[in-house]
Structure 1
Amino acid sequence: MTIDRGLLAILEVQAGKGEEMAAFLEKARAMAAAEEGTVTWYAFRLGETTYGIFDTFADEDARQAHLSGQIPAALGQVGHRILAADPDIRQVDVVAVK
């Protein structure tokens, strides 16, 4: 399988909401694991208030299914409480994989 597409989401959280974001991301891991077309899924922290998700997909249909799936819906339900700004979500082209 050739992995050539992904998503990068940068999530800025409100001060003091980092633990809540980390807990959300831990729950989201199970949702991502259930997605057939999601090949890899990583949640990470860049700083005290900056978190992110990077994932890769088997094909464009899988990427689009993910964008309209459970994780964005769940984030939409809690985002107003923990996010400082709208998520910065970028579609990426993967150019090399090991």
Structure 2
Amino acid sequence: MALKCGLFVRLEAKPGKERAVKDFLVSGLDLTNQEAGTPVWFALQLSPTTFGVFDAFTSEEDRQAHLAGNMAKALMSRVEEMLAKPPSVEPVDVLAVKNQSA
């Protein structure tokens, strides 16, 4: 499995909604586990109010399917409730991967 492309999504929580964003991302694991084309997915906390998601895919088709999938739909349905501004979604190219069990 060669990972070729990915997404980095930055989320800025509204004041007082930091826990809601964190809980949403933790629960998002169940949604992304249902996506066969999303083999790598990380939910991140970058600061007390800033969160992120990094995911990687083997093809552009899988990346586009993820963007149209249930996790993306769930996030977009809660933007006004939880986020200070719309998510920043940055497509990225995967240059190299190291993956070993912890």
Q: What's the TM-score, normalizing by structure 1?
A: 0.96
Would you identify which runs of 4 or more consecutive aligned residues in structure 1 move more than 4 Å? Answer: none
- Cα RMSD of the aligned pairs, angstroms, is 0.8
Deviation of 1:82 after TM superposition, in Å, equals 0.7
- The 5 Å alignment of 1:68-83 reads 68-83=68-83
Say if 2:20 is the partner of 1:20.
yes
What residue identity is the alignment partner of 2:10?
A: I
Aligned sequence identity (%) = 40
Which runs of no fewer than 5 residues in structure 2 stay unpaired? none
Match of 2:92 in 1: 92
- The 5 Å alignment of 1:1-98 reads 1-98=1-98
> Residue by residue, what CA displacement relative to the aligned partner does 1:25-69 show, whole Å, maximum 9, x if unpaired?
111111111100101100000111100000011211110000011
Distance in 2 separating the partners of 1:97 and 1:7: 15
Which runs of no fewer than 5 residues in structure 1 stay unpaired? none
Which structure has the highest helix share of the two?
Answer: 1
What residue identity is the alignment partner of 2:69?
A: G
Q: What's the TM-score, normalizing by structure 2?
A: 0.92
Distance in 1 separating the partners of 2:60 and 2:33: 18
Distance in 1 separating the partners of 2:78 and 2:93: 29
SS in 2 for 1:54: strand
